[in-house]
Structure 1
Amino acid sequence: MMSNMGRPRTFDRDKAIENAMYLFWQYGYESTSLSQLKAGIGNGISAPSFYAAFGSKEALFRECVQRYLSTFGKVTAFLWDNSLPPREALEKTLRNSAQMQCEDGHPSGCMVGLGALSATSAEHAAAAEPLTRSRIRTREGIAATIQRAVDSGELGKEVDVMALSTSFSTFLFGLSIQARDGATTEELNAAVSQIMRLWDASKA
């Protein structure tokens, strides 16, 4: 008989990752306590069961980041779609991000953008590293999109690609603070229209 295999988990691990992701997204890595995480999984989970399922808070956080990047974080995927004209790729990224960050059903803002503020101590730098990598990748995607526009002649050869990409990156990550402070999709979309004038002013 195989009666000594241990009790099966009494929670849905996939759903637990989702619930934990929302907690980290709302409160940040440092401010989300182990007690909050245990209480937010199923009808509650004991510390031994938590560590058996996830290993550690940091390991769970990394799983949650990957869940976020493979779902909500895909709003930036247009930056790597070379079938789109560069301007359209950037504008779609900004508008889809603005819409996602203001949607009901999950915390406002962007987990990646807000993550810059949620694990600031050296002690937690390793946990925040996947978010840092994601922000770097997004900056590189914006810069590559602008460079593609310069190379194709859509933007002038004299454009300072780094300065322009930094402007758009700063705007994109700043949407997180605006959304968290209650800005509406309409307000953020109006801001997107405004900043896209920077692109139009740089046309060849």
Structure 2
Amino acid sequence: MSTKARGRPRGFDRDRALETAMAMFWRHGYDGTSVADLTRAMGIAAPSLYAAFGSKQELYRESLQLYVRTLGRLGVANLGSAASARDGVHAVLRAAAEAFTRPGFPPGCMVGIGSLRCAEDNRVAEEATTELRSATHAMLLARLRQAQADGELPESADPTAMADLYAAVLEGMSVVATDGATRTRLLATADLAMAGWPSPGPAAR
């Protein structure tokens, strides 16, 4: 029997334990969730947690990855398959409005609020969430640059500034959701954010 296996109680379900940890970190943040809180919620002892996940830091990173794969999917990776960049970005914002107000789950986005709920000198949450936010920004920017190359955006448009804007809207929606903003309000925000979308450039000759 391996060292990792010895520390776990009979019936230990790693996937379920990870889901529990995700919910704890999402609601209370990295610093606001202690190892004691985690083991109590999971129904396991601390040695079992370390045997299964290595450390609290690694458990947090795995929890973030689980969130991104499941509850945090906003369709950003599918921007390239949208009928237009505008339709794709609009769909992402509206998906965020629904995801951030999902009944039965903490409000907001686990990635978006992760670094807001950690101590100033704690780099674990900040680095992990920054990496994921940067990936979202990169996908937005790539789609907007392609839209400009295709003539959907005029040459005068600034894809980088637009990516900054819509990434900031996503982050802001997450924050106000944690403050109690309703789904209706967030959907209205998503729709209004599209009002500044530049008119298409002239048709290609």
Q: TM-score of the superposition, structure 1-length normalised?
A: 0.88
Alignment-derived partner of residue 115 in structure 2: 116
Report the Cα offset of residue 113 of structure 1. Answer: 0.4
- Distance in 1, matches of 2:14 and 2:147, equals 44
Alignment-derived partner of residue 103 in structure 1: 102
Alignment-derived partner of residue 159 in structure 2: 161
Q: Is the 8 A contact 2:20 2:41 kept in 1?
A: yes
Q: Is 1:203 aligned to residue 204 of structure 2? A: no
- Distance in 1, matches of 2:174 and 2:152, equals 29
| Alignment deviations for residues 86-123 of structure 1 (CA, whole Å, 9 cap, x no partner) | 1111011110011011011211100110012123434x
- Supply the AA of the counterpart residue of 2:57: E
- Distance in 1, matches of 2:193 and 2:183, equals 15
Q: Is the 8 A contact 2:80 2:143 kept in 1?
A: no
Change over 3 Å in CA distance of 1:202–1:83 after alignment to 2 = closer
Instruction: Report 1:1-204 matches (<5 A).
Output: 6=6, 8-41=9-42, 44-122=43-121, 124-199=122-197, 201-204=198-201
Report the Cα offset of residue 152 of structure 1. Answer: 1.3
- Distance in 2, matches of 1:29 and 1:79, equals 29
Superposition misfits of 4+ residues, deviation over 2 angstroms: 5-11, 76-84, 118-122, 126-130, 201-204
Q: Cα RMSD between the aligned structures?
A: 2.0
- Supply the AA of the counterpart residue of 1:155: L
For structure 2, the residue ranges without an aligned partner over 5 or more in a row are none
Report the Cα offset of residue 129 of structure 1. Answer: 2.4
Match of 1:176, SS state, is helix
Change over 3 Å in CA distance of 1:118–1:186 after alignment to 2 = same
What is the number of equivalent residue pairs in this alignment?
197
Report the Cα offset of residue 83 of structure 1. Answer: 4.6
Change over 3 Å in CA distance of 1:172–1:83 after alignment to 2 = closer
- Supply the AA of the counterpart residue of 1:62: R
- Distance in 1, matches of 2:135 and 2:48, equals 35
- Distance in 1, matches of 2:137 and 2:101, equals 22
- Supply the AA of the counterpart residue of 2:108: G
Q: Is the 8 A contact 1:78 1:89 kept in 2?
A: no
Report the Cα offset of residue 21 of structure 1. Answer: 0.0
Report the Cα offset of residue 141 of structure 1. Answer: 1.4
- Distance in 1, matches of 2:82 and 2:189, equals 26
Change over 3 Å in CA distance of 1:39–1:79 after alignment to 2 = same
- Distance in 2, matches of 1:127 and 1:193, equals 31
Give me the identity figure in percent: 39
- Supply the AA of the counterpart residue of 1:176: S
- Distance in 2, matches of 1:67 and 1:84, equals 29
Q: Is the 8 A contact 1:119 1:127 kept in 2?
A: yes
